[in-house]
Structure 1
Amino acid sequence: MAPHAPRLPLIAFAVASLGIAIFSSMDAVMKGLVLALGAYNALTWRTMAGIVASGVPYALSRPKRPSREAMRLHLVRAAVSAVMAFLFFWGLGRVPMAQAIALSFIAPIIALFLAAWLLRERITRVTIIATALAFAGVLLILWGQAQAELGHDAFLGAIAILVSAVCYAWNIILMRQQSLVAGPMEVSFYQSLFISLAFLLAAPWLLELPAIDHVPALALAAILATASLFLLSWAYARAEANYLAPTEYTGFLWATLWGWVVFGESVSFFTVAGAALIVGGCIIAARRRDHAPVADTEAQI
């Protein structure tokens, strides 16, 4: 086994890239559902379908009872993910896919500041420069949005995605912690279960039964989400977060492709240039450290 050990991070990188590709494809399916059903109903029915999609293989694996620490992380990440997902998909229904994904790239930069707050890490001059570069990218995308006259709803959608990125920054930390105390099947099942329960709290007022013709898309979205979560959990258990973080940026290519093919969306120069600035800022910030923000302090959160 030892001679093959150096290959494991490369395999994890490839698996994480596949997970992002599948997740981006799920975004395209979900955008159509959000436009048809609304963000709340699309997410609630998808996550409930996800309980079945993830629960069957999990049950067949004859799982052991999760540890107390694992259950705590499942609950915390589910709460964060519920807010993150609702804001992202609500925004996705109002802005082009490529723009939404580009704005979400600010999450790794935000993660550095969350690490400083939660883990008392030092904010360096390089971090400040990287943040300024990424912030300039966000402003450029919003400027392009204004020039394109996409309307007030698109601006609110962009703001929702930026707030979702804050949640995703915390989610990055939680995903790494979670993958070290629970297997991919367990993570997939409990995330679907707890996120569904969170959304169902509002069911008496908001939940509506979808038309039968939306069921295949809901099932497909649940399967894609489960597969992506399984692959990413597997990868993050075998490589550090900072090594796998660049795979997130491949999502821009998939979002551009699906936005064009499915929704006829074009990508503006402002979105591409803004994404380049944000990614550049993230790369500069990542070069200042040798490990993930929580790789050696995971028990502190």
Structure 2
Amino acid sequence: MTGPARGIAIPFAVCCAGVALFSVMDAAMKGLSLSIGLYNALFWRALAGTMLGLALMLLTRQRWPTPAVLRLHLLRGMVVAAMAALFFWAIMRLPLAESIALSFIAPLIALYLAALLLRERVGRQAIGASLLGLVGVGVILSGRLRGDYDADALLGALAVLLSALLFAWNLILQRQQAQCASPVEVAFFQHLVMLGVFALGAPFWLVIPPASAAPLVLLAASLAFTSLAALAWAYARAEAQRLIPVEYSAFAWAAIMGWLAFGETVTPATVAGALLIVAGCLIAARTKRADASGHQGAHVEAGTV
């Protein structure tokens, strides 16, 4: 194995593991939500994640963030809280693989949010890619509109799309956070803010879960932290363009976990729609890489003069 290939192999493998662990976490949260209710699944996972994050903050002696960074943590935590509530509400009504396939539209939405919030340019090819992604969403939804009409499942699909919109915003905030905070700090404050948001509903909905639910709560919180750490480690050691396609393996893992844990099947419409959305995302990513390469080449030439 050559040097560059060997250099990418370990980060690639770790990234694959991180994506797989996220899919297992989704399955754990679906099972937890079905057994103790969505609100309690979200609250107790946030509490367990906060305690784990606090321990890691103390163990690694993280510094307290500045007020500006705290505001960023607060904003992203609230966005993620709403995003998680919508997504996990949806997967209680949809197969895991279908939910993941619909959520793949998020990177395409992020193109336009980046243009709006970061003043980035959206080219014609990226617009075409986003239209291809929308066709993919339409193909998946068409499977819900044919045959037996299931209004609850259709609401679940709409909830995933709203969650994807928030996830796209989350991607922009994550990009800003990465420049000013460590992965441990980001994970801790994300869980802490989510806990604060969900605590608002405690007087109305909070119940002590049965002891049998404790392993799933701990599993979901541990998987969330482990997968975040794995992905952060991988992306710190390899170019994003080499690792981004790994994210789409989540569809396969979601299909496997949905089948094993809940007996879910994957429809042809879901597979076809997922392929269209992924194709659109890859075209958009390729366009951005070409633009970035052009800028980098200009910088290199200027530096060699």
TM-score, with length taken from structure 2:
0.88
Q: Is the 8 A contact 1:90 1:157 kept in 2?
A: yes
Q: Which moved more, 1:172-181 or 1:20-29?
A: 172-181
Q: Which moved more, 1:112-121 or 1:264-273?
A: 112-121
Higher-Rg structure is 2
- CA distance in 2 between counterparts of 1:231 and 1:175 reads 16
User: Could you tell me which residue of structure 2 aligns to residue 193 of structure 1?
Assistant: 192
Q: Is the 8 A contact 2:113 2:172 kept in 1?
A: no
CA positional deviation for 1:87: 0.3
Q: Is the 8 A contact 1:176 1:236 kept in 2?
A: no
Q: Is the 8 A contact 2:30 2:88 kept in 1?
A: yes
5+ residue gaps, structure 1: 297-301
- CA distance in 1 between counterparts of 2:280 and 2:71 reads 33
CA positional deviation for 1:234: 3.1
The answer to whether the aligner puts 1:203 opposite 2:202 as a matched pair is yes
Matches for 1:86-125 after TM superposition, within 5 Å: 86-125=85-124
- CA distance in 1 between counterparts of 2:288 and 2:15 reads 21
Change (3 A) 1:18 1:110: same
User: Could you tell me which residue of structure 2 aligns to residue 258 of structure 1?
Assistant: 257
User: Could you tell me which residue of structure 2 aligns to residue 68 of structure 1?
Assistant: 67
**1:171-219, CA deviations, whole angstroms, 9 ceiling, x for partnerless residues?**
1222233223222222221111111111111211222221221111111
Q: Is the 8 A contact 1:240 1:291 kept in 2?
A: no
**Which SS does the other structure have where 2:248 is aligned?**
helix
Q: Is the 8 A contact 1:17 1:247 kept in 2?
A: yes
TM-score, with length taken from structure 1:
0.89
Change (3 A) 1:169 1:242: farther
Aligned residues: 292
5+ residue gaps, structure 2: 296-305
User: Could you tell me which residue of structure 2 aligns to residue 161 of structure 1?
Assistant: 160
**Which SS does the other structure have where 1:172 is aligned?**
helix
RMSD: 2.3
CA positional deviation for 1:146: 2.5
Q: Is the 8 A contact 2:86 2:159 kept in 1?
A: yes
The answer to whether the aligner puts 1:287 opposite 2:286 as a matched pair is yes
User: Could you tell me which residue of structure 2 aligns to residue 151 of structure 1?
Assistant: 150
User: Could you tell me which residue of structure 2 aligns to residue 36 of structure 1?
Assistant: 35
- CA distance in 1 between counterparts of 2:78 and 2:232 reads 18
- CA distance in 2 between counterparts of 1:39 and 1:248 reads 25
- CA distance in 2 between counterparts of 1:286 and 1:229 reads 22
- CA distance in 1 between counterparts of 2:222 and 2:240 reads 24
User: Could you tell me which residue of structure 1 aligns to residue 211 of structure 2?
Assistant: 212
**Which SS does the other structure have where 1:149 is aligned?**
coil
Q: Which moved more, 1:178-187 or 1:230-239?
A: 230-239
Q: Is the 8 A contact 1:18 1:231 kept in 2?
A: yes
User: Could you tell me which residue of structure 1 aligns to residue 277 of structure 2?
Assistant: 278
User: Could you tell me which residue of structure 1 aligns to residue 140 of structure 2?
Assistant: 141
CA positional deviation for 1:127: 1.6
- CA distance in 1 between counterparts of 2:147 and 2:42 reads 29
Q: Is the 8 A contact 1:37 1:210 kept in 2?
A: yes
User: Could you tell me which residue of structure 2 aligns to residue 25 of structure 1?
Assistant: 24
**1:24-61, CA deviations, whole angstroms, 9 ceiling, x for partnerless residues?**
10000000111122222111111101112222222112
User: Could you tell me which residue of structure 2 aligns to residue 80 of structure 1?
Assistant: 79
Q: Is the 8 A contact 2:48 2:218 kept in 1?
A: yes
The one-letter amino acid of 1:174's match is L
Q: Which moved more, 1:140-149 or 1:157-166?
A: 140-149
- CA distance in 1 between counterparts of 2:245 and 2:78 reads 25
